[in-house]
Structure 1
């Protein structure tokens, strides 16, 4: 029981929202007059975010497949 509470508290603190951009990226995007720079950074963020979602999907899929047998 104590382990579950500690794990829950850990994940609550882990999920505290943070800023989506560092100060340097924000300054570059706000001062940029062309949309190419902003689009490139947004594509990079999407590329970096894709892999964790893919890993979680496969973990859930394999657990589901294992328990279905």
Structure 2
């Protein structure tokens, strides 16, 4: 049951269409000067750079959890 709940929660987060602003104050000022299109590209780049370490940490945590579960 927990596995199904986790799967549904993950699916809900992936299906959300929320505009996430992942910019510091300096990046926001720069993006405002660039215009609408480049600002969206800058924001997407920042989100992609943040996603990579999170995926690696999640993978390592899963492997650790899996190895401790069997012991």
Q: State whether TM-score is above 0.5.
A: yes
Task: Give the gaps of 5 or more residues in structure 1.
Answer: 1-19
What is residue 61 of structure 1 aligned with on the other side?
A: 62
Deviation, 1:27, is 4.4
- Alpha-carbon RMSD across the aligned residues, in angstroms, is 1.7
- In structure 2, how many angstroms separate the alpha carbons of the residues matched to 1:68 and 1:27? 48
What is the number of equivalent residue pairs in this alignment? 48
- In structure 2, how many angstroms separate the alpha carbons of the residues matched to 1:54 and 1:21? 22
- In structure 2, how many angstroms separate the alpha carbons of the residues matched to 1:47 and 1:59? 19
TM-score normalised to the size of structure 2?
Answer: 0.55
Q: Which has the higher contact order (CA 8 A, sep 6+)?
A: 2
Superposed, which structure 2 residues align to 1:1-69 within 5 Å?
Answer: 20-21=23-24, 23=26, 25-32=27-34, 34-69=35-70
Q: Which of these two proteins has the greater Rg computed from alpha carbons?
A: 1
